[in-house]
Amino acid sequence: MKGESEEEETKRKLPEKQLPDRVAALLPESALYTQLLEFESRVDAALHRKKVDIQEALKSPPALQRTLRIYVFNTFANQAPRTIPPPKNAEPPTWSLKIIGRVLEDGAELDPASVVPKHNPVYPKFSSFFKRVTIALDPSLYPENPLIIWENARSAAPQEGFEVKRKGDKEFSANIRLEMNYNPEKFKLSQPLMEVLGVEVDTRSRVIAALWQYIKAKKLQNPTDPSFFMCDPQLKKVFGEDKLRFAMLSQKISQHLSPPPPINLEHKIKLSGNGAHASACYDVIVDVPFPLQKEMSAFLANTEKHKDIEACDEVISASIKKIHEHRRRRAFFLGFSQSPVEFINALIASQSKDLKLIAGEANRNIERERRADFYNQPWVEDAVIRYLNRKPASGNEGPGGGAGGS
């Protein structure tokens, strides 16, 4: 996971930012820096926990219930009385049917040009709440296209409302059918199940949870076999059995769940008077996302702050490296000033030992090799024979070879 990798990277960088005890002893002011590091680690841990909480919350985002007010009205143009003969170049009479919706909230600012409040960008647009919108016109007046259908699945972007504009000078009634778009999907409960739970429309998961709470409150679970529950008279009307297995509960309630009924509205298209006519308002309870959901998602996706922190960490790490280098130089010159001869001898011995390690001669004793007894050991003769008998790398060069034989 991304959070885990960030935490591992932070843990890996922390040692590079810490000051050793030897430096802290030389710099009393470094105690404040150490306290800042500890505070930073606590802040990082708190931020990581909050990020995990936000990620878990976004998996099942909370929703708030708000009132969606639907405004239905129509306007018209060029609906002057007919004259014989009609005037030349006259615009044809037209009308427009408008359906606009707003999520109501306290202190909403009204549009000066109408009674419709301004759209709040925090909430989804009007079309997001509907799966399908169907407008039926009078087929005798508009035989070619009496049905106008809008589908959410085919819409490129959400809209703040719908408008249907047609030519015509006759009044009639338009039927509007709105099918709600619930996310997660909601169902209408049957009458027997509605009497048990006291709700009319809800999601499948909430219906099952409510049934479990009802069974628990009524103590209907079978004490001898907890996988079954007994049906009281109310549940018996729903399931038609005396007892039922919990595993069958989800399957049994499917027959009691049906698609929620659409909202049917009728609007009279009027073509006389002034301004918008026959304005009607309808209130519907809808679920809207939690207002901070967008900000929470943006907080998780924002990486700019991480880049700034990483840049500061790199500067701190570079400064710590310089402090280490100055500490080593200080220790070098301080040792030399206190006892120059002993310091130089110790330095030469250390350098000699390092050279032996690099050359692979860490076990070689030069002082012993200077004595004749070293070459009287049993392995010397065998080593000399191997050395003399080995083949030269090229030409006649090598042990036992020469320019010519004698």
pLDDT digits (tens, 9 = 90+) for 232-289: 999 999 998 888 998 898 899 999 999 999 999 999 988 887 655 557 888 888 888 7
| Confidence bin at 4 (pLDDT 50/70/90) | very low
C-alpha distances (whole Å) from 138 to each of 54, 220, 232, 268, 339 are: 52, 56, 52, 11, 111
Contact predicate 164/148, CB 8 Å:
yes
CATH domain 63-80+93-182+262-289 topology: Immunoglobulin-like (2.60.40)
* Residue 102 bridge partners (DSSP): 69
pLDDT(1) > 50: no
Query: First vs last Cα of the chain: how many Å apart?
Result: 80
Question: How many other β-carbons are positioned within 10 Å of the β-carbon of residue 248?
Answer: 12
Q: What length does the chain have? A: 406
pLDDT(335) > 70: yes
212 token code pair:
């479990």
Mean pLDDT, to the nearest integer, of 372-395? 77
| More confident: 323 or 164 | 164
Mean pLDDT, to the nearest integer, of 159-184? 90
Three-class SS state of 75? strand
Give, in degrees to the nearest 5, the angle at Cα 126 between 301 and 258. Answer: 100
Mean pLDDT, to the nearest integer, of 336-342? 87
* Cα(20)–Cα(154) distance, integer angstroms: 64
381 token code pair:
């003769």
Tell if the pTM clears 0.85, that is, is over it: no
Which pLDDT score, from 0 to 100, does residue 265 have?
A: 92
* Cα(168)–Cα(271) distance, integer angstroms: 9
Question: How many other β-carbons are positioned within 10 Å of the β-carbon of residue 176?
Answer: 22
Mean pLDDT, to the nearest integer, of 357-377? 72
Closest-CA residue to 176 (of 136, 119, 229): 136
The predicted-structure confidence for 110-144, as pLDDT tens digits, reads as follows: 554 555 777 778 788 899 999 999 999 999 999 98
Give me the chain's average pLDDT, please.
80
Which pLDDT score, from 0 to 100, does residue 353 have?
A: 77
Which pLDDT score, from 0 to 100, does residue 23 have?
A: 73
pLDDT(404) > 50: no
Say if strands 257-258 and 277-289 run parallel, antiparallel, or are unpaired.
unpaired
Which pLDDT score, from 0 to 100, does residue 375 have?
A: 79
pLDDT(315) > 90: no
Which pLDDT score, from 0 to 100, does residue 86 have?
A: 60
CA atoms within 13 A of residue 277's CA, in its CB half-sphere: 17
The full set of domain ranges for the chain reads 18-62, 63-80+93-182+262-289, 186-258, 305-360
Share of the chain above pLDDT 90, in %: 23
| More confident: 171 or 53 | 171
| Cβ-based neighbours of 64, under 8 Å, separated by 6 or more | 287, 288, 289, 290, 291
The predicted-structure confidence for 41-61, as pLDDT tens digits, reads as follows: 888 888 888 888 777 766 666
| Confidence bin at 294 (pLDDT 50/70/90) | low
Please report, to the nearest 10 degrees, the dihedral formed by the alpha carbons of residues 79, 80, 82, 87 taken in order: -110
CATH domain 186-258 topology: MDM2 (1.10.245)
Mean pLDDT, to the nearest integer, of 318-334? 84
| Cβ-based neighbours of 265, under 8 Å, separated by 6 or more | 70, 72, 175, 176, 177, 178, 280, 282
The predicted-structure confidence for 68-84, as pLDDT tens digits, reads as follows: 999 998 888 887 766 55
Q: Residue 44 carries which side chain, given as an amino acid letter? A: D
